[in-house]
């Protein structure tokens, strides 16, 4: 009986050690809490806004409570050497620390806006590609937070000195790894939503 207790104690100790170590390595449950260095790369000189988000709050039409379509976005001119733009939408108040709602990259450098309701397909007519959000779908997936607490949703726009050699369906991590060292400027827009 003493041996059984020792074996169980050893297993419990190992399980606790795994739970403590894995998040620190950015593995498993802790991966969404890991740092995203691209968010701080380059000067924050792009002005990003949305005519569809009055008072920087999501109306139901852009969420899972409505049509779940993407809002229109507009931004200022990027630096002269820009070759493409990338956009990430992220819930900063998700239960695991972060939840990706939209990944869009290889937006042409001459583009200054996105129309409302971007189609949820991998390749867009202008050559832009959409990644996979954390709902497991291509393109935009609107706010759909659990409970009734207000969440902050951050649009991150990046001006890059290259186009990203990634397929449609790439994840946020894929895009950020490919962007590393290529960010010329960035802009952010934060809007909130609660159900």
Q: Where are the domains of the chain?
A: 1-34, 35-193
pTM of the model: 0.81
CATH top-level class of 35-193: alpha beta
Q: SS in 3 state form for the chain?
A: CHHHHHHHHHHHHHHHHHHHHHHHHCCHHHHHHCCCHHHHCCCCCCCEECCCCHHHECCHHHCCCCCCCCCCEEECCCCCCCCEEEEEEEECCCCCCCEEEEEEEEEECCCCEECCCCCCCCECCCCCEECECCCCCECCCCCCCCCCCCEEEEEEEEEECCCCCCCCCCCHHHHHHHHCCCEEEEEEEEEEECC
Q: Each residue's pLDDT tens digit in the chain (195 positions)?
A: 545 444 444 443 443 333 333 333 333 333 333 457 777 888 899 999 999 998 999 999 999 999 999 999 999 999 999 999 999 999 999 988 899 999 999 999 999 999 999 999 999 999 999 999 999 999 999 999 988 889 999 999 999 999 999 999 999 999 999 999 999 999 999 999 998
């Amino acid at each position: 009986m003493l041996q059984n207790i020792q074996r169980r104690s050893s297993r419990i100790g190992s399980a606790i050690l795994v739970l403590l170590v894995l998040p620190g390595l950015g593995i498993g449950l802790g991966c969404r809490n890991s740092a995203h260095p691209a968010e701080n790369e380059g000067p924050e000189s792009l002005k990003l806004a949305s005519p569809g988000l009055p008072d920087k709050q999501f109306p139901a039409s852009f969420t899972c409570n409505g049509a779940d379509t993407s809002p229109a976005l507009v931004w200022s001119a990027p630096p002269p050497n820009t070759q493409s733009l990338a956009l990430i939408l992220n819930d900063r108040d998700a239960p695991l620390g972060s939840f990706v709602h939209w990944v869009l990259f290889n937006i042409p450098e001459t583009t200054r806006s996105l129309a409302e309701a971007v189609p949820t397909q991998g390749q867009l007519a202008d050559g832009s590609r959409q990644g996979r959000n954390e709902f497991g779908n291509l393109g935009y997936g609107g706010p759909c937070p659990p409970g009734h607490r207000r969440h902050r949703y951050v649009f991150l726009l990046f001006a890059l000195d290259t186009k990203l050699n990634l397929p449609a369906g790439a994840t946020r991590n894929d895009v950020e790894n490919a962007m590393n060292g290529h960010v010329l400027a960035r802009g952010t827009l934060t809007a909130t939503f609660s159900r």
